[in-house]
Amino acid sequence: MNSIGQKICESRKAKGLTQEELAELSNVNLRTIQRIENSENTPRGSTLSSLCEVLQLDMADVQTKHPSKKENKWGSLMLNGLFVGVLNSAMMAIFGFLTLDTAANLNSRVGAYCLSIFMPLLVVAFTQDFSPTKRVLQFGSGFLGYILLATVVVGFPAAFIKGLIPSLTIALTVLYYGNSFVNYPSMKTRQ
């Protein structure tokens, strides 16, 4: 969450207001407030002024950026890269076992299709601040590589019929469009 959205959200909650109440008091659209608090939008001008007035915040203080910790140090980057590599390998192995293994049957293939929806949705739930492209490149690169590898090793028709390519394609699609499902209004709890 960016610092402005976080400050507004914390201040709103401290005052015991719901997003709907804040929208009504400040004459700012509810969806705009949701976007601000979810870091999808940064308030400026009259919107920020109205919110600060209702929440009794100083605009200069809200806009001041506090120095954040450097998260992109080499050790952190290497650890994140290692984790993403292991995660991609594990997901590839699971889909391969459920579809291409000699013991794979209809039940395991149905399991692969279910996992191709639910595993990426879990990733999306924890990476909502990622762009869809970044999420697919970071968590779906193994899927893309596995589609190419399976096409070369077992052939496209065999990999498609056994369910590997369709399940990985579904997983990539869910990774890309997952924010649409995770942010669906009826699925969100009242904030």
Q: Residues near 180 by Cβ (< 8 Å), separated by ≥ 6?
A: none
**Could you give all domains of the chain from N- to C-terminal order, each with its CATH number?**
3-67 (1.10.260.40), 74-186 (no CATH)
pTM for this one?
Answer: 0.55
Minimal CA–CA distance to 175: which of 128, 114, 111? 128
Angle between helices 106-126 and 164-182 (to 10 degrees): 30
Length of the chain: 191
First to last CA, the chain: 15
- pLDDT number for residue 52: 82
φ/ψ of 125, rounded to 5, equals -60, -35
pLDDT given at position 185 = 55
**DSSP code of 116?**
H
pLDDT tens-place values along the chain, 191 residues long: 457 888 888 888 888 888 888 888 888 888 888 888 888 888 778 888 888 888 888 777 777 665 444 555 777 778 888 888 888 888 888 888 999 888 889 999 999 999 999 988 988 888 888 889 988 888 888 888 889 999 999 999 999 999 999 999 999 999 999 888 776 554 444 44
